[in-house]
């Protein structure tokens, strides 16, 4: 084996390793963002449940119907 083949073999897995590191970094950032979002939702003063949101929409629609005489 000559020296050119040895140096080529050393760099053959570098691209895959860089993609793995990049993907790992994206996952870490996504987890961090989800933790911040969860913390924000838990500390919110308003009710943020789907059931309450549906009731708010229904109340708003009913109010608009009576307001416009339908």
Residues 10-46: tens digit of each pLDDT: 677 788 889 999 999 999 999 999 998 887 777 766 6
Closest CA to 61 of 49, 52, 70: 70
Q: What is the pTM of this model?
A: 0.48
Burial 19-58 (b: 16+ CB within 10 A, else e): eeeeeeeeeeeeeeeeeeeeeeeeeeeeeeeeeeeeeeee
Residues 6+ apart with CB under 8 A from 48: 41
**Distance from C-alpha of 56 to C-alpha of 1, rounded to nearest angstrom:** 75
């Amino acid at each position: 084996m000559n020296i050119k083949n040895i140096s080529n073999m050393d760099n053959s897995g570098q691209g895959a390793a860089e993609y793995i590191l990049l993907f790992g970094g994206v996952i870490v950032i996504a987890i961090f963002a989800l933790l911040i979002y969860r913390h924000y939702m838990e500390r919110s003063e308003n009710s943020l449940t789907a059931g309450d949101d549906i009731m708010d929409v229904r109340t708003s629609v009913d109010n608009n119907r009576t307001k416009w005489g339908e």
